[in-house]
Structure 1
């Protein structure tokens, strides 16, 4: 499982490079199942989720390997098993993105219902609804989503309206539509930068996709896609985590290899708190030396404040004098981290989907447990702020999304050590 020991009270100082985006890498890897020939992906984060997807690919009959740090090779031949391993699929949420890719290229899929963080209800109904419009006949049985294209032919384009701008559903439908006959229109779709990155990757393979990043995506299906070489965008959530950590420890950090426009919601909220933030072309400087003010936050789909940043920001606000409020509008279980922050002396009350935070002067060290990826990041930030040595257990959650965690923290002057 792994634990991280953190000696608190040390301001973070220096530069930290940001890895490729986890939430872009995993759908891009799934999209490789659409392509003939091999694909080389660059700026890939060295995290456990990437290793699991490569293992799934190999088990199904494809090839996946690390070529060097940050670079992987994937190849999915014309004949593979279209059934994913139940055991492997349960290790991460993104395994469900193979559904659209397998249907689009092979016309059949048996994808185990995904696992991943227990942060709230994340049903597959929008995925199934959208793929059904394209001609897929799907059913859920024995822990799998199973089915194929009606009549054994290619999917056919259609018009799909999403009841909620689901990132995963948008990605699955877009991948399936890339090789469907005719045009597909996806309305009320997700607009996250990772959606744009996936569309750019698919287009680099020969797809014809327009409108990614807006409310409406149009996909003109093509008969085949070819492998290519592609560089994934930087991880805005990892960047935001280090920005908040710098502010929380009253440090001075330059976050490198970022796209500042992807971080505007986080940058704006930090400035509202009283943190000095300066943007460059591909880096952001954070200075946490000032006096902080309480704020109110509501999580929303992009370009709103990201739900993935809610837990780390809560850790910061737990020591900001005054009353702050966080409303979680996306995942109802995101507030589970409150119990662990309270062990460290945080004064937080839960009212429905709202966390009311009464800032304390300082957190105290404790033994705490990560319940999910972003909760784990929040507890590490809390440990960096606290008096004494904090022990964060269930570190495997955090390693699903943060590459070279110890290396980057120690590079900023933090005193951290991993133990088994």
Structure 2
């Protein structure tokens, strides 16, 4: 099993290219099931989760052709996927595939909308809490689906097709919003979704669906209106840049000091996180190439932050901020409001010498002058990269074990960091 070895203490200087967003690429790939024509997606990141979803879609009979760099293409442009779901041969998504990645459960929406039936395994557990699918099922039932759960599978049928409806989510849900929008595109009549998630990835998927002939208004706001159409066409769409990767590298620069250009980053996708980094002592400058982050000489200042749905501070950057605050000059407080169990990185950060105390959903971090390298273990995707950030600034050597979590969400992490002067390498046993 691969490990990552880091020798801390080097400042980061140079350019880091930002990859396409995992959290948009996955639902965009799933949206390919809605049309029998080819959907072409550009700037898709090379990640373990993308490869896994390709296997899942292949199980339904989807042909996916992957193209890499083209002559003259910029080095960091992601892969291009040609997704063709002309013939869906199987409407079952089996447990052994769905259990490895929660987002794959979302295939239930396009299968039901287009084929009027689906049999999808309930997703497996998740390290960061239960993340139930009840709101997704509620949305599909509102659209007229008949749903039963049998033997760990959700069996959904809509013999005459789905019908437009009003869907009011009791709480903001990104996955529920994705599922409701995809299912409603082919439903008869109008669907109104209220208390919808406003994340940029929702808007990106809706933009792509509109290119395919869907009629979606209001994506990116709490009220989305979908006018159903009879069929969707093929289209070409470029995946938006990954705001979580952007924020992660911005925090790494703030942690180590230095001067890095985050090429292709879009500031409006993570303004709240950039504001927090400015409070912490980083200099954040927006330019034509993306975002430039510097911290030279200034110490790291403590901050108080609560995670919140977009446009608030993202839960997916909470672990990285905690690593950064471990070296702040004073006490910081971070409150996690989105997921339970999302503090599993605390005990691993403590191995570096970080002083963190937990009280319910709030962590208090008493900053210390210097962390010390240590052997640590990744527990989930975002927590694992917080250990990398800590290791970059720590004295001596850090060994991060179980890095398959990192490969799910960060493309070429070691390459991008070592190109900016970090002493980081992957060790394959």
What's the TM-score bracket when you normalise by the shorter of the two chains? over 0.9
Please list, as runs of the form range in 1=range in 2, the aligned pairs for 1:145-224 lying within 5 A after superposition: 145-149=154-158, 152-224=159-231
Q: Secondary structure at the match of 2:313?
A: coil
Q: Secondary structure at the match of 1:122?
A: coil
The alpha-carbon deviation at position 279 of structure 1 amounts to 1.0
- Aligned mates of 1:233, 1:357 — CA distance in 2: 33
Matching of residue 406 in structure 1 with residue 385 in structure 2: no
- Aligned mates of 2:232, 2:184 — CA distance in 1: 12
- Aligned mates of 2:279, 2:409 — CA distance in 1: 27
Match of 1:266 in 2: 273
Structure 2 portions without partners, runs of 5+: 70-78
- Aligned mates of 1:214, 1:250 — CA distance in 2: 37
Match of 2:53 in 1: 53
User: Does the Cα contact within 8 Å between 2:284 and 2:293 map onto a contact in 1?
Assistant: yes
Q: For residues 17-48 of structure 1, give each alpha carbon's deviation from its aligned partner in whole angstroms, at most 9, with x where no partner exists.
A: 10000000000011100011111110000001
Q: Secondary structure at the match of 1:225?
A: coil
Q: Secondary structure at the match of 2:425?
A: strand
Matching of residue 343 in structure 1 with residue 351 in structure 2: yes
- Aligned mates of 2:395, 2:185 — CA distance in 1: 53
Match of 1:42 in 2: 42
Q: For residues 131-182 of structure 1, give each alpha carbon's deviation from its aligned partner in whole angstroms, at most 9, with x where no partner exists.
A: 1000111122322222211xx1110000010011100000001000000000
The alpha-carbon deviation at position 115 of structure 1 amounts to 4.0
Match of 2:117 in 1: 108
User: Does the Cα contact within 8 Å between 2:142 and 2:165 map onto a contact in 1?
Assistant: yes
User: Does the Cα contact within 8 Å between 2:62 and 2:86 map onto a contact in 1?
Assistant: yes
Match of 2:23 in 1: 23
Q: Calculate the aligned-residue CA RMSD, in Å.
A: 1.1
The alpha-carbon deviation at position 60 of structure 1 amounts to 1.8
The alpha-carbon deviation at position 117 of structure 1 amounts to 4.5
Match of 2:339 in 1: 331
Match of 2:5 in 1: 5
User: Does the Cα contact within 8 Å between 1:136 and 1:155 map onto a contact in 2?
Assistant: yes
The alpha-carbon deviation at position 116 of structure 1 amounts to 7.3
User: Does the Cα contact within 8 Å between 1:260 and 1:282 map onto a contact in 2?
Assistant: no
Structure 1 portions without partners, runs of 5+: none
Q: 1:356 to 1:284 in 2, by over 3 A?
A: same
Match of 2:63 in 1: 63
- Aligned mates of 1:238, 1:299 — CA distance in 2: 17
The alpha-carbon deviation at position 411 of structure 1 amounts to 1.0
Q: Secondary structure at the match of 1:36?
A: coil
Matching of residue 98 in structure 1 with residue 123 in structure 2: no
Q: Secondary structure at the match of 2:61?
A: coil
Matching of residue 143 in structure 1 with residue 143 in structure 2: no
- Aligned mates of 2:48, 2:241 — CA distance in 1: 17
State how many pairs are aligned: 418
- Aligned mates of 1:47, 1:197 — CA distance in 2: 19
- 2:284 is aligned, of 277, 283, 287, to 277
Scaled by the length of structure 2, what TM-score is found? 0.96
Match of 1:32 in 2: 32
Matching of residue 228 in structure 1 with residue 227 in structure 2: no
